[in-house]
A and B are shown apart, each in its own frame.
Chain A
C-alpha cells in the first residue's frame, strides 16, 4: 500500500516527540533526585513575595557607564549583599545600565542603605592586624574598657610612649580608643562575619575585615582617597635585568601632584617601619573598598613618583581583579534607586493563584470553543494544547534549573495569552484541510495538501511572533523581559507540537473510519462542508481543482482555460447539482450575490 509511507513517518514523528518529552522528564527527575532542582518552576518575586531594587550605577563625572563599570558595580553590590547575610539574593544587570537586586523577604532599612550606598575606595594605614583569620573574642574575655593600654601593648609592635597624646599620623596607635578596641574584639572576620558599616567617616579610624583572608584590622583615617588614583594595570613583574619574572604584579599610578606627594609621605613613614621590622603590620597600608580591605601590602620602598608596583601571591586572575578594583577607585560609583518593590508573600500567592485560575478558565473556554467549532477534531486541538503546555512547563523547569529563570506574573500572563495563539496554528491548519475537503478531495489527500499550504502560513506567522519576542526580550527592561520570554518559548513549543504532534496525529486519524468517512461529529464531514464528491455519476469525474474557486500554482492556466470553455448553462447546471456552489466567477464585487443565493434555496 502506498499509504503506509506517511503513516510510518507519522508514527516515527510521534515517537520522536514522546522521546523528547521523556528525555526532559528524566533529566529533571535526575535533577530532583540529586536535589539540584524541583518539579515546580522557580517563581519570580511577584509570585513568591520579596523585594526587588533596580539601581542605576553612575560613575562620578561621567554620564554613561561602561560594561566593565557595570560588572564592577554588580560585584560591589554582590559583596555588600553577601556580607549583609541576605541569602538567595540575585543580582543581575539589565539593559546595559541597571543593576537589579532581587531578594526574598523584606530587607531592613540598614540593608537597603548598605546596598544603595555609593561605593568608596581609599587607602588607610594599618594600625593593628590580626595577620591571620580572626573571629570575635569571647564576651567574657573582652578587654575591659579601662585597660586600653594592655590591648595596645599586646597588639602593637611599638606603642606610642604617650597614649594620651593626639595621634601624630595615620599609623599612630593613639587612634585606638576604648570603643574601637571593643569593636575590634567583638568583630569576627570569619563565619559568621560581623556586619560592619561600609561608609565610615574618612577622618576616623575603622575596624575592617579582609574578606579574602579573614584577617582583621584596625585602620587609620583615609590618607589617599580613591579619586587620587589615576589608573592601574597588571602584568608580570620585570626582574632586575629586565627579564620578565613569573611574578604577577599590579601597577598603580597616582595622579600628580596630590596623589604622588601624599603617597610619598605615607610610604616614607611606612617604609621606615618596614626597614626596622618587615613583619610590622604598621609597615602596611590597606586598599579599602566599601570599608572592606581588598589588599594590604607592605611598603617595601618609598614611592616618590606616584608609580607603585604591588606584588604578592597574585595569580593572573587576582592581579586583574585588584587592578580592576583600583581602576574603579578612580571613578567612584554611586547608585540611584530607580524603583524598589516589596511584594508581600500574601499578595504574591494571591497573584499566583489568580494567574493560574485565569489560565484554567481561559483554557476551558478555548476547549469549549474548539469542540463547538471542530467537534471531534477539537480533541486534537485540546491534546495539542496540553502537550504544548507540558513542553512549556518542562522547559521552564529546566531553564529554572540551568539558567535560574524565574517565572513572573507577566510570564504567566504571557503563557495564558499564548493559549490563543497556539490554538490558532491548529485553526489555520484545520481550515486549510476543510478548504481542501470543500474542493472534494478525500480526507487523506486533503490533510496532505492542507498541511502543505498551512505549513507555510504557520511558519511565516510564527516567525513574526518569535521575532517580536526576541526584540522585546533584548531591548526591554523590567517585567517585559519575562513576558517576552514566555511568549517566545510558547511559540517554539507551538511549532514543535504542530509539526511533531498535530500533523502526524491528523495523518493517522485521517485513516481511521470515524474521520476518514467524515462522521457527522468528526468536524471533517464533507457533506457539512458542502463538498462535491469527485465522482459525479454517469461516468463523469471531475478533478479536485474543478470547483476550486481559486486557481493556484501550475494548474491556474488550465483551470482558467477550462472555465472559459464551459458554457454558462453548463455552469448553472453544475451549480444547481452541487446545491451550493453559487455564483462562480462573479467575483466579490457583488455583495448581494450571497443574499440572492439564499433566496433561491
Chain B
C-alpha cells in the first residue's frame, strides 16, 4: 500500500508525474466543453433562479410551528392581503417559509401578523423580509464593481510579484473558468441565487487566485534560472512544479472544503435554505473547481503563453540536444 507521503515523494522527484502541461490540449478542450455547457444549460433551463432579494418580494419564516400544514399559511395570506400569491413550504423541522410576490412594506407587516396568528406562535418566532424591486440590482451592481476592481488590482499585484504579466493573465483566465463553471452549476441545478450566494461567488474569487498564486510561486521558483539550465524544457519545469505542489493542492482543497462542507450540511439539513446554505454551496462548488482550474487550466495556460518566447525555444533545443547526446552515449 502506498502512503500519501510516498505519493508526495514521487511527485516531488518527478518519478511520478501527471502530464498537466503536455496534455494541455485535452484539458483545454474539456474546459471549453464545460464552459459551453455552463453557458448553454442555464439558457436551456430558463436562466438563473433568482431569490426574492433580486426579484423583490416578501418572505416570512415562522419558527416553532406545531402544525406544519402549508394550507394554514396559504389561507392566512389570502385573507390578510387578497390577491397575494403565496408559496408556503415546510423548510425544515418545524419551520415554515412563506414567499409572496411584491407586497408593500405595510402589507408585509399585515401578513406577518396574520401568519403569526394562524400558526399560533409568538411575535418572537416570526421573521419577515421585504425587499424592494431595486435592491437586488444594487447588490449585483456592487458585486460586479467589486469583481472588476478586484480582478484588476489582483492582476497588477501578481504581475508585480511574479514580474511577468503572463502569470496574471493565466491566473485570471483560470479564475474566469471557475466563475463560469460555478455559475453554470448554479444555473443548471436551479439553486436559488441569493445575496449570500453572491458572497460565496466573491469569496471564490479570492480563493481561486490564492490557490493559483501558491502553485505559480513554485513555478516561479522552478523556472527562475531556466535559460541557463538544460535539464528540462520550460513546459517540463512548469509541469514538475504543478506535480510538486499537487499534494499541497489536494491537502488545501480538503481543509478548505471540510469546513465549507460542514456549513453546507448544517445549513441545508438543520437550518433549511438561508444564508449558510447559499453561501457554502457556492463555495463548495467553487473550491473544488478552483483546485482543478489551477492545475489543469491556469498553469498549463502559463506554459503555453510563454513557450514561443525565443529564449525558451532556444533553451528547449538545448535540452533536446543534450538528451539526444545522452542517448547516443548510452
> Which residues of chain A have a CB within 8 Å of any CB of chain B?
46, 49, 54, 56, 95, 98, 106, 109, 112, 116, 336-347, 350-351, 354-355, 357-359, 361-363, 365-366, 369-370, 373, 409-410, 413-414, 416-417, 419-421, 423-424, 427-428, 431, 434-435, 438, 453, 456-457, 460-465, 467-469, 471-472, 475-480, 483-484, 487, 528-530, 547, 549-553, 556-557, 560, 563-564, 567-568, 580-591, 593-594, 597
Given the interface pairs A354-B267, A557-B228, A591-B22, the reply to whether A424 lies near B255 with Cβ below 8 Å is: yes
Question: How many Å from the CB of B93 to the closest CB on chain A?
Answer: 10
Shortest distance from the beta carbon of B146 to any chain A beta carbon, whole Å? 4
CB-defined contacts of A483 to chain B, threshold 8 Å:
199, 203, 279
A-B contact list, 17 entries, CB within 8 Å: A344-B123, A350-B63, A355-B266, A358-B262, A359-B259, A373-B251, A431-B251, A438-B12, A468-B205, A480-B142, A483-B199, A483-B203, A529-B8, A552-B225, A553-B224, A568-B330, A588-B240
Instruction: Write out the residue numbers on chain B whose beta carbons fall within 8 Å of the beta carbon of A341.
Output: 127-130
A563 to B229, CA, bound (A): 10
Top 6 A-B pairs, shortest CB-CB distance = A362-B259, A468-B206, A420-B256, A594-B16, A582-B15, A588-B239
In-complex Cβ contact of A420 among B17, B130, B235, B257 (8 A): B257
**Can you list, as one digit per residue, whether each of B246-270 has a CB less than 8 Å from chain A (1) or not (0)?**
0110011011111111110111001
Q: Flag if A588 contacts B126 (CB, 8 Å).
A: no
A552 to B262, CA, bound (A): 41
Quick one: given A339-B130, A410-B279, A479-B196, are A347 and B61 in contact (CB under 8 Å)?
A: yes
Known: A413-B279, A417-B260, A467-B154. 10 other contacts (CB 8 A): A342-B126, A351-B275, A413-B199, A416-B260, A420-B287, A457-B218, A463-B157, A480-B198, A529-B8, A588-B14
Q: Within 8 Å CB of A553, what residues of B? A: 224-225
B4 cross-chain contacts in A, Cβ below 8 A: 373
Question: Shortest CB–CB separation between residue B276 and chain A, in angstroms?
Answer: 6
Question: Does B309 make an interface contact (CB < 8 A)?
Answer: no
Name the distance in Å between A502's Cβ and chain B's nearest Cβ.
Answer: 15
B270–A354 contact, CB under 8 A? yes
Inter-chain contact A580/B142, CB cutoff 8 Å:
no
B142 touching A475, Cβ below 8 Å: yes
Give B220-255 interface residues, CB cut-off 8 Å to A: 221-222, 224-225, 228-233, 235-237, 239-241, 243-245, 247-248, 251-252, 254-255
- Scoring B95, B130, B138 by chain A CB atoms within 10 A of each residue's CB, the highest score goes to B138
Residue of A nearest to B138 (CB): A477
Least CB distance, A494 to chain B, in whole angstroms: 11
Interface residues of B in 200-224 (CB under 8 A from A): 202-203, 205-207, 209-210, 213-214, 217-218, 221-222, 224
Nearest-Cβ distance from residue B297 to partner chain A, whole angstroms: 17
Contacts of A431 in B (CB 8 A): 8, 245, 247-248, 251
Q: Which of B128, B251, B259 has the most CB of A within 10 A?
A: B259
Q: Which residues of B contact A593 (CB under 8 A)?
A: 14-17
Contact B127 A457 (CB under 8 A): no
- The smallest C-beta distance from A414 to any residue of chain B, in angstroms, reads 8
Chain A residue numbers with a CB within 8 Å of B329 are 567-568
Which residues of chain B are within 8 angstroms of A49 by Cβ–Cβ distance?
A: 124
Cα separation A351 to B95 with both chains bound (whole Å): 12
CB–CB A109/B322 < 8 A:
no
Contact flag A585-B61 (CB < 8 Å), given A420-B258, A438-B12, A475-B145: no
| A587 → chain B closest CB, angstroms | 4
Contact B14 A529 (CB under 8 A): no
Q: B322's closest neighbor in chain A, by CB?
A: A564
Are B9 and A529 neighbours in the complex by a CB distance under 8 Å?
Answer: yes
Q: Which of B40-48, B71-79, B106-114 contacts A (4 or more CB under 8 A)?
A: B106-114
Taken together as a complex, chains A and B put the C-alpha atoms of A340 and B112 apart, in Å, by 12
> Which residues does chain B contribute within 8 Å of A413, judged by CB atoms?
199, 263, 275-276, 279-280
Report whether over half of chain B's contact residues are helix, strand or loop; otherwise say mixed: helix
Decide: A338 near B132, CB < 8 A? Known: A423-B255, A588-B17.
yes
Query: Residues of A contacting B217 with CB < 8 Å?
Result: 456-457, 460-461
Q: How far is the CA of A424 from the CA of B131 in the complex (A)?
A: 38
In the complex, the answer to whether A421 meets B256 with C-beta atoms within 8 Å is yes
Provide the bound-state CA to CA distance between A584 and B153, in Å: 40
A456, B123: Cα distance in complex, Å: 54
Q: Is A477 a contact of B248 with CB atoms below 8 Å? A: no
- Do residues A471 and B252 form an inter-chain contact, with CB atoms below 8 A? no
* Alpha-carbon distance between A564 and B229 when the two chains are bound, in angstroms: 10
Please name all residues of chain B whose beta carbon is closer than 8 Å to the beta carbon of A477 when the two chains form the complex: 138-139, 142
**CB atoms of B259 and A419 under 8 A apart:** yes
**In the complex, A427 Cα to B251 Cα: how many Å?**
7
B221 and A480 contacting across the interface, CB-CB below 8 Å = no
B206's partner among A56, A98, A469, A584 (CB-CB below 8 A) is: A469
Task: Report how far A581 CA is from B230 CA in the complex, Å.
Answer: 19
Q: Which residue of B lies closest to A567 (CB)?
A: B329
For A339, list chain B residues within 8 Å (CB): 53, 129-132, 135
Assembled-state Cα–Cα distance A580/B326 (Å) = 22
- A339-B131, A487-B203 known; A460 and B8 CB under 8 Å? no
Q: How far is the CA of A212 from the CA of B12 in the complex (A)?
A: 75
Q: B225, A464: Cβ atoms under 8 Å?
A: no
Nearest-neighbour CB distance to chain B for A65, whole angstroms, equals: 14
Set B17, B132, B145, B210: member contacting A465, Cβ < 8 A: B210
B308, CB-defined interface residue at 8 Å? no
B230 and A560 within 8 A (CB): yes
Q: Is the CB of B124 within 8 A of A346?
A: yes
Cα of A54 to Cα of B239 in the assembled complex, Å: 51
Across the interface, which residues of A come within 8 angstroms of B146, CB to CB?
Answer: 471-472, 475-476, 480
- Do B214 and A428 touch across chains, with their CB atoms under 8 A apart? yes
Beta-carbon contact of A550 and B237 below 8 Å: yes
In whole Å, how far is B253's beta carbon from the nearest beta carbon of chain A?
9
B15 to chain A, nearest CB (A): 3
Closest CB of chain B to A511's CB: distance in Å? 23
> In the bound complex, what is the Cα–Cα distance between A401 and B13 (angstroms)?
53
Beta-carbon contact of A337 and B17 below 8 Å: no
User: Which of A337, A420, A552, A553 has the most chain B CB within a 10 Å cutoff?
Assistant: A420
Contacts A464-B154, A467-B154, A528-B3 given; does A551 touch B225 at CB 8 Å: yes
B232 touches A585 (CB 8 A): yes
Give the residues in chain B near A580, CB-CB below 8 Å.
Answer: 9-10, 13, 15
Contact with A along B32-69 (1 / 0, CB 8 A): 00000000000000000000010000000101100000
Q: Please pick, from A112, A366, A457, the residue contacting B258 in the complex, using a CB distance under 8 A.
A: A366
For residue A581, which residues in chain B have a CB less than 8 angstroms away from its CB? 13, 15
| Shortest distance between the CB of B43 and any CB in chain A (Å) | 27
| Complex contact B239–A556 (CB within 8 A) | no
Q: Across the two chains, which residue of chain B brings its CB closest to A588? A: B239
**B187 contacts A by Cβ under 8 Å:** no
Query: When the two chains form their complex, are residues B207 and A421 in contact, meaning their CB atoms are under 8 A apart?
Result: yes
Is there contact, CB below 8 Å, between B142 and A95?
yes
The answer, among B126, B218, B265, B279, for a CB contact under 8 Å with A361, is: B265
